[in-house]
Chain A
Amino acid sequence: MTSRVYLRQNALAEPLYGRWYAWPYLVSPMTAPMYVENLHVRLMESFIENPQIHVAALRNPEMAGGPFLGHEESRVPDVARLLEDTRRESAALLRFAADVQEFTRVLASRADGCSLEALYSQVPDSLRGFVELVYDVNHQAAIRFIEPLLYRSRLYDEGAQSIELSVVEGDDRAFVFNTPRLDEEERLVVSLPFRSDALDRLFRMREEPQDPGLAREALGLGGSADALFSRLFTESAPGASPACPPGTVRVRYFGHACVLVESDQATVLTDPVIAYEHGSGHSRLSWADLPARIDYALITHAHQDHCMLETLLALRHKIGHVVVPRNSGGGLADPSLKLVLEAAGFRSVIELDELGRIDLPGGAITSIPFFGEHGDLAIRSKTTYLVRLLDRSFLFCADSNAFEPAVYDHLRDLLGDLEAVFVGMECEGAPMSWLYGPLVTAPLARRMDQSRRLDGSDCERAMGLVTRLRPRAVYVYAMGAEPWLTYLTSIHYTDESRPIVESRALVQACTALGIPAEVLFGTKEMVYR
Chain B
Amino acid sequence: MSHSPFSRLTPAQELFVREWNDTRTEYPRDETIAGLFEEVVRDHPASPALVSAADGRSLSYDDLNRRANRLAHHFKRVGLGEGALVAIQLERSFDMIVAMLAALKAGCGYVPLDPRLPLKRISRLLEDARPAMVVTVEELSDALPASTRLVCLDTDARAITRESDANPARAGSALAVAHVLYTSGSTGEPKGVAVVNRGVIRLVRGTSYAAFGAGETFLQAAPVSFDASTFEIWGALLHGARLVLLPPGAAGLDEIVGAVRDHAVTTLWLTAGLFHLVVEERLAGLRDLRTLLAGGDVLSPARVREARRGLPECALVNGYGPTESTTFAACHRVQDLPAGASRVPIGRPIANTRIHLLDPDGRWVPPGEPGEVFIGGDGLARGYWNRPELTAASFVEDPFAEAEGGRLYRTGDLALLRPDGELEFLGRRDEQVKVHGFRVEPGEVEAALDAHSAVLRSAVAARDAASGARSLSAWIVLRPGAACADGELRAFLQESLPDYMVPARFVRVPGLPLTENGKVDRRALPDPQPEAAAASSPPRSVLEESVSRVWSSVLGVESVDCEANFFDLGGSSLLLIAAQARLEASLGRMVPIMWLFEHPTVRTLAAAIASGSDGGARARALEERLRRRRGTAAAAAPETNP
Contacts and interface: CB of A to CB of B under 8 A. Distances in A.
A445 B450 CA distance: 24
A241 to B, nearest CB: 45
B142 interface: yes
Interface string B121-136: 0110000001011000
Interface string A424-438: 000000010100010
B147 interface: yes
B79 A443 contact: no
Contact of B142 (A46, A111, A447): A447
Contacts of A53: 78-81, 132-133, 149
B145 interface: yes
A52 B80 contact: yes
A49 B147 contact: no
Contacts of B143: 445-447
Given A49-B130, A55-B79, A433-B147, A109 B451 contact: yes
B552 to A, nearest CB: 37
A435 B213 CA distance: 54
A53 B130 CA distance: 14
A433 B482 CA distance: 36
Contact of A431 (B130, B146, B149, B482): B146
Given A53-B133, A109-B453, A443 B84 contact: no
Interface in A431-468: 431, 433, 437, 443-450
A110 B453 contact: yes
B630 interface: no
A54 interface: yes
Interface in B104-159: 119-120, 122-123, 130, 132-133, 141-149
A433 B147 CA distance: 7
A109 B452 contact: yes
B454 interface: yes
A71 B78 CA distance: 16
Interface centre among A50, A110, A111 (most CB of B within 10 A): A50
Contacts of B123: 443
A111 B453 contact: yes
B453 A56 contact: no
A112 interface: yes
A434 to B, nearest CB: 9
Nearest to B496: A443
A105 interface: yes
A443 B145 contact: yes
Given A50-B81, A53-B132, A56-B78, A446 B453 contact: no
B119 A443 contact: yes
A46 B149 CA distance: 11
A445 B119 contact: yes
Contacts of A42: 147
Contacts of B147: 42, 67, 433, 437, 444
B479 interface: yes
A446 B141 contact: yes
Contacts of B451: 105, 109
Contacts of A445: 119, 142-146
Contacts of A237: none
A112 B119 contact: no
A447 to B, nearest CB: 4
Nearest to A66: B149
A57 interface: yes
Nearest to A436: B146
B77 interface: yes
B405 interface: no
A114 interface: yes
B481 interface: yes
Given A56-B77, A56-B79, A443-B119, A50 B132 contact: yes
Interface residues of B, number: 30
A57 B79 contact: yes
Nearest to A67: B147
A56 B80 CA distance: 9
Contacts of A67: 147, 149
Contact of A49 (B78, B119, B132, B452): B132
A433 B146 CA distance: 7
A484 B133 CA distance: 32
Q: Tell which of A54, A109, A433 has the most Cβ of chain B within 10 Å.
A: A109
A6 to B, nearest CB: 45
A39 to B, nearest CB: 10
A106 to B, nearest CB: 9
Given A49-B84, A49-B130, A444 B79 contact: no
Interface string A91-108: 000000000000001001
Given A111-B453, A112-B482, A446 B79 contact: no
A447 B118 CA distance: 13
Given A53-B79, A110-B453, A443 B120 contact: yes
Contacts of B453: 108-112
B142 A114 contact: no
A444 B148 CA distance: 10
A108 to B, nearest CB: 8
A57 B142 contact: no
A446 B482 contact: no
Contacts of B146: 431, 433, 437, 444-446, 448-450
A446 B132 contact: no
B155 to A, nearest CB: 13
Most buried by B among A108, A112, A445: A445
Contacts of B84: 49-50
A391 to B, nearest CB: 48
Contacts of A448: 146
Nearest to B451: A109
Nearest to A38: B147
B481 A114 contact: yes
Nearest to B482: A112
Given A67-B147, A431-B146, A445-B144, A112 B479 contact: yes
Interface in B370-413: none
Interface string B48-90: 0000000000000000000000000000011111001000000
A48 to B, nearest CB: 11
Nearest to B141: A446
A126 B56 CA distance: 61
B78 A446 contact: no
A55 B123 CA distance: 26
B75 to A, nearest CB: 10
* Residue with the highest number of chain A CB atoms closer than 10 Å, among B81, B148, B453: B453
Contacts of A50: 79-81, 84, 132
A108 B496 CA distance: 14
B187 to A, nearest CB: 16
A67 B79 CA distance: 14
Contacts of A56: 77-79
A158 to B, nearest CB: 30
Contacts of A450: 142, 146
Contacts of A443: 119-120, 122-123, 145
Given A49-B130, A112-B479, A112-B482, A446 B80 contact: no
A93 B231 CA distance: 47
Interface of A: 42, 46, 49-57, 67, 105, 108-112, 114, 431, 433, 437, 443-450
Given A50-B81, A437-B146, 16 more contacts: A49-B84, A49-B130, A50-B84, A51-B81, A53-B133, A57-B78, A105-B451, A109-B452, A111-B453, A443-B120, A443-B122, A443-B123, A444-B145, A444-B146, A445-B143, A446-B143
22 contacts: A49-B84, A49-B132, A52-B80, A53-B79, A53-B132, A53-B149, A109-B450, A109-B452, A109-B453, A431-B146, A433-B146, A443-B119, A443-B120, A443-B122, A444-B147, A445-B119, A445-B143, A445-B146, A446-B143, A446-B146, A446-B148, A450-B142
- Complex A-B, nearest 9 residue pairs according to Cβ-Cβ distance, in ascending order: A56-B79, A52-B79, A449-B146, A53-B79, A447-B142, A433-B146, A443-B123, A112-B453, A109-B451
Interface of B: 77-81, 84, 119-120, 122-123, 130, 132-133, 141-149, 450-454, 479, 481-482
